[in-house]
Amino acid sequence: MSTVGPAGRVRPALPGDPARIGPYRIIGRLGAGGMGTVHAALDAGGQRVAVKVIRTAQAENPEFRARFRREVQLSARVTGPCLVPLLAADPDAPAPWLATAYAPGPTLDQHLAVHGPLAGGNLYAFAAGTAQALAAIHRAGVVHRDVKPQNVILSPAGPRVLDFGIAHAADGTSVTRTGVMTGTPGWISPEHYRTGTAGPPGDMFAWGALVSYAATGRLPFGTGAPDVVAFRVMSGEADLDGVPGPLLTLLVRALAKEPEGRLTSEDAAGQCTALLASQTTQLLTSTPTTAGDPVAAQWDLPALDDPAWQGPPVRPRRRPLLTVGIGAALVGALAGGLLALSPETRQERAGHSAPPPAPTGTGRATAAPPSAPPSGTQAGAGTGASPAADDSPSIATWRQARAAQTPAENDAGPSMGTGPWLDPVAHPDQDRALTFHRPRGEVYVALSGQELDQGAVHDIAELACLGLRDLSTAYPDLPYRTYVVVDTEREGGPAVVWSDDFRANPSCSTSLTDRAAAPGEGRAADWYPGSAGMLTAVIPSRDPDQIRVAHRIATTIITSWNGGAGHDRIGHDTMSVGFDPGSRTMYVWATEPRWDAATRGAWAREAAAHACTGLTAEAGRSADWPFTRYAVLVRDTAGTDEYLRWATVGTCPD
């Protein structure tokens, strides 16, 4: 996740933000991510600049600093049209930073969500510009490895390709750690899934998918679980329906399953530029001086104006705050054309069935029935029903909370940042309100506009925890230790959906493990399938043995289940198998929120039996087969997981 103002607009600086970074004068913030903060800045000549500063905790990690230094080196090697140039950097500073030119505009996916597919000259300019950018990258001996809609900005001057955070040099030096799958499902080439190979042909496969998405507004390999998308990428055909004929031939070649069958970035740039010229209705006033000029001539998106760029820096005169790092993943996904933050991949959100009251430091997803507020009662009014019997946060205590009064309370919102659910483009009606219950030591985060799914709840919880931990460092006497997330849009009325002690959760993890279920039938007593393993399991494997075993076991379970009667059928789009090498566990999950408890239990028994038999058979075939455990769960469409059976391979159930 990442945070940014609308279309990359400047937000006010926070207390403690630097006045200058290197030669640049800081005038505000453009966004924040788990790895650091991106500041809006001006150089001595008034040129707009985006300056990325790495968080102290990351800078103290030698491996991270080495990767950041390599990112700077790779970025400096690449120049060309439709790229965001590196202007300056200091990877050895106490707080490493780099500065790039500023390119305003939404990302491709943000633009498509509001305006729909590109067409006509804009589409051909997009195809030509992104191909030219990749050609420049490849000429410099660099492989991008993460071409996707979130890493392309639609600036007023044309598309801009971002993010060398996981780039790879042709000499073999990689920014990422060995053995870590890079890229994003749906934008990864077949050979990368199979063998981990990442080269220019892989970038071109992603480019073909990218241009198809721009032309149709549909993901070319559809949606679904990562392993399902991976199967379509490796074995299915891309959905190119609606791509204009002149581009269609190029995209078919770019999306060839074998890398040697794809066109190169140079070929794509040349042919797309020729197609663009054939579409041109506007004559250039002079001979183009760069390959990017035809793109700019045909490009037709409005310029963005942000008065904050011209104004002096605005700094609240309050106690200093540490630089706030919120969320994670890539700041290349920020609207506003920022170079991506480093690729440290945070755990993807994962929910579990709501546990009973958790021990100190464990976040709680609350599933208690919500209470509708009395007519006319607003949060903070101090009225409402009695607090919960166990003295846990409730709608009643939320209503008793008040608005911010102290400097620390006023800084709480900015320290948390926002998130994709507050993106004014994607969710214009969504809003957030913070209130404070000082006697209870609780900060309430209330969201309105639309009901939150479980994934959004986890994201909000993590942002709140990170922000409040930073706030408590700047304000050591901060009288709060618990944050509470309230969803005001539940059908039955506002509901408390999460609470946690942020002081006792230093990592701000929002992964829940429901250990309330006692060991019993099909449940091992000596271990539990934690969420971290599931997060690994959902990442598509590139190990051929794992792919083979997963497909065989999934097919066996699907065939067996569908042969019965009285329940919904399942398929590879609703059932998946994945592996966590760290715990030597195979995970089997179905996405079926319509099932009742009895149906879930029946499916889990059947799936567990086939999982155990399949793992036992594979161990008999190969002494090197490492997986000795299995876990069976049901996941609903909001991402909530219910673990039903887990065991170590030995005596398999009938």
Which segments are annotated as binding site for ATP? Answer: 52
What's the CA gap between 307 and 558, in Å, rounded?
58
Per DSSP, the three-state class of 291 is coil
What's the CA gap between 612 and 522, in Å, rounded?
11
What's the CA gap between 633 and 604, in Å, rounded?
7
Question: Are 166 and 345 contacting, i.e. CB atoms less than 8 angstroms apart?
Answer: no
Structure tokens at 434: 């913070």
Query: DSSP assignment, residue 344?
Result: -
C-alpha of 211 from chain center: 21
Strands (E), 462-506: 482-487, 495-501
Residues in a beta bridge with 640 = 351
Per DSSP, the three-state class of 40 is strand
Q: Report how far apart, in Å, the C-alpha atoms of 410 and of each of 98, 406, 549 are.
A: 30, 6, 54
Compute how many other C-beta atoms are within 10 angstroms of the C-beta atom of residue 538.
18
Phi, psi of 38 (to 5 degrees): -110, 120
What's the CA gap between 21 and 105, in Å, rounded?
24
| DSSP assignments along 575-631, one per residue | EEEEEETTTTEEEEEEE-TT--HHHHHHHHHHHHHHHHHHHHHHHHH-TT----EEE
Q: Is 196 exposed, middle or buried (0-12, 13-18, 19+ CB in 10 A)?
A: middle
Amino acid in the structure at residue 141 = G
What's the CA gap between 109 and 356, in Å, rounded?
39
Q: What is the dihedral of CA 326, 328, 333, 335, to 10 degrees?
A: 0
What's the CA gap between 421 and 458, in Å, rounded?
12
Nearest Cα neighbor of 229 from 578, 552, 607 is 578
Structure tokens at 268: 């794509």
Question: Are 446 and 497 contacting, i.e. CB atoms less than 8 angstroms apart?
Answer: no
Amino acid in the structure at residue 590 = A
What's the CA gap between 570 and 292, in Å, rounded?
49
Of the residues 146, 306, 453, 470, only one is catalytic, namely 146
Residue-level length of the chain: 654
What's the CA gap between 124 and 297, in Å, rounded?
12
* Residue 146 appears among annotated catalytic residues: yes
Structure tokens at 405: 């009064």
Contacts of residue 548, defined as CB under 8 A and 6 or more positions apart, other chains included, come to: none
Place of tokens 């029903």: 385
Nearest Cα neighbor of 39 from 58, 20, 23 is 20
Phi, psi of 294 (to 5 degrees): -60, -35
What's the CA gap between 504 and 468, in Å, rounded?
12
Question: Are 150 and 332 contacting, i.e. CB atoms less than 8 angstroms apart?
Answer: yes
Starting at the edge strand found earlier in the chain, the sheet holding 640-648 runs 351-352, 640-648, 629-635, 585-591, 575-580
What's the CA gap between 442 and 496, in Å, rounded?
13
Annotated catalytic sites, by residue?
A: 146
